[in-house]
Amino acid sequence: MNQSFTPISSLGEFGLIDRMQSRLVDIPRSENLIVGIGDDAAVYRAGETTLHVVTTDVLIEGVHFDRTFIPTSYLGWKAIAVNVSDVVAMNAKPLYATVSAGFPRNFSVEMMDGLYDGMAEACKAYGMELVGGDTSTAHALYLSITVIGEVDEKDVVFRRGANVGDYLCLSGDVGGAYAGLKVLLDQREQLENMGESYEPDLEAFQYVIQRQLRPKARLDVIEGLKKAGVRPTSMIDISDGLASEVHHIGMRSGVGATVRVPAVPFDPETRAVADQFMDDIDAYALFGGEDYELLFTVVPEDVQKIDDMQGVSVIGTIEEASKGVRAYSPDTGLMPLHPAGYQHFDGPPQTDYEELDGDEGPSFDDTEFSGDGA
Ligand code: ADP
Ligand code: MG
CB 57 within 8 A of CB 374: yes
Main-chain dihedrals φ then ψ at residue 56, nearest 5 degrees: -140, 140
Nearest ligand, CA 145: 1
CB 252 within 8 A of CB 36: no
Residue of minimum CA distance from atom 10 in ligand 1: 38
**Does residue 269's CB lie within 6 angstroms of at least one atom of ligand 1?**
no
pLDDT band at 191 (very low <50, low <70, confident <90, very high): confident
**What per-residue confidence (pLDDT) applies to 193?**
86
pLDDT band at 359 (very low <50, low <70, confident <90, very high): very low
Nearest ligand, CA 295: 2
- The C-alpha atoms of residue 351 and residue 354 are separated, in whole angstroms, by 8
Residue of minimum CA distance from atom 21 in ligand 1: 17
Q: Select from 133, 163, 172, 153 the least CA-distant residue to 50.
A: 153
Residue 351 has pLDDT above 80, yes or no: no
| Domains of the chain, start order | 31-152 (3.30.1330.10), 167-368 (3.90.650.10)
Chain mean position to CA 355: 22
- The C-alpha atoms of residue 371 and residue 59 are separated, in whole angstroms, by 8
Give the model confidence (pLDDT) of 244-283 as tens digits: 999 999 999 999 999 999 999 999 999 999 999 999 999 9
Give the model confidence (pLDDT) of 117-164 as tens digits: 999 999 999 999 999 999 999 999 999 999 999 999 999 999 999 999
- The C-alpha atoms of residue 208 and residue 273 are separated, in whole angstroms, by 9
Main-chain dihedrals φ then ψ at residue 336, nearest 5 degrees: -65, 140
Runs of H (alpha helix) within the chain: 12-22, 72-88, 109-125, 176-194, 206-213, 219-227, 242-253, 268-276, 281-287, 303-308
> How many whole angstroms from 310 Cα to the centroid of ligand 1?
31
**What per-residue confidence (pLDDT) applies to 22?**
96
Residue of minimum CA distance from atom 2 in ligand 1: 374
Residue of minimum CA distance from atom 27 in ligand 1: 17
Q: Select from 118, 284, 295 the least CA-distant residue to 208.
A: 284
Intra-chain end-to-end CA distance of the chain, in Å: 34
**Does residue 372's CB lie within 6 angstroms of at least one atom of ligand 1?**
yes
Q: Are strands 42-45 and 50-60 parallel, antiparallel or unpaired?
A: antiparallel
> How many whole angstroms from 331 Cα to the centroid of ligand 2?
31
Q: Select from 236, 153, 185 the least CA-distant residue to 65.
A: 185
Give the model confidence (pLDDT) of 77-105 as tens digits: 999 999 999 999 999 999 999 999 999 99
